[in-house]
Amino acid sequence: MRRPSAYALVQNAAGEFAVVRTPRGYFLPGGGMDPGETPEQTVEREAMEECGFILKSRALVGRAVQFVYSFEEEEYFEKVCVFVEAELVGTTTKTEDDHELHWLPIAQALDCLSHESHRWAAGHVDRAR
C-alpha cells in the first residue's frame, strides 16, 4: 500500500537533531500526509502532535521511497517520503503521549534512526552544513 509521508529535519543551536522515540522505534518528527496536505503542512502538524513543536518550514531536503512492514497493520507499505528542513519557532502541548523527544548529535541520530531513508536525510543535511 502506498503511503505519502513527510518528515522534519530540525536542529537546535548545538546542531543536535530532533528524533522521536515511539514504541516502534526512532524516527524524525513527521508521518503520513492527510489528503490535500502539503509536505510542509504535514511536518508542521505532525511535529506539533508528536513533540509540541511549532515549526516554520524552510527548505525541501529531498525525497525517498522505502518499503516497510507494519506489524500492527500486518501490511507492507511503500513510504513515499518528503524531507523538509524546518526551524523550531515555539512550543505547545503535544498530543501523542507515546512519543518521546530526544535531541541527538548526528552520529547518535544516524545510529538509532529506524528507517534508512531518515538516516539518509539527516546525513544529507549534516553534510550540507
Q: Which tens digit of pLDDT belongs to each residue from 101-112?
A: 999 999 999 999
Annotated domain spans of the chain: 2-128
- What single DSSP character describes residue 11? B
pTM value is 0.95
Report the alpha-carbon distance of residue 84 to residue 42 in Å, rounded: 10
Q: Which tens digit of pLDDT belongs to each residue from 56-93?
A: 999 999 999 999 998 888 999 999 999 999 999 999 99
Report the alpha-carbon distance of residue 15 to residue 102 in Å, rounded: 13
Neighbours of 76 (CB within 10 A): 11
| Domain 2-128 is found in CATH 3.40.50.300 | no
Partners of residue 57 on adjacent β-strands: 86
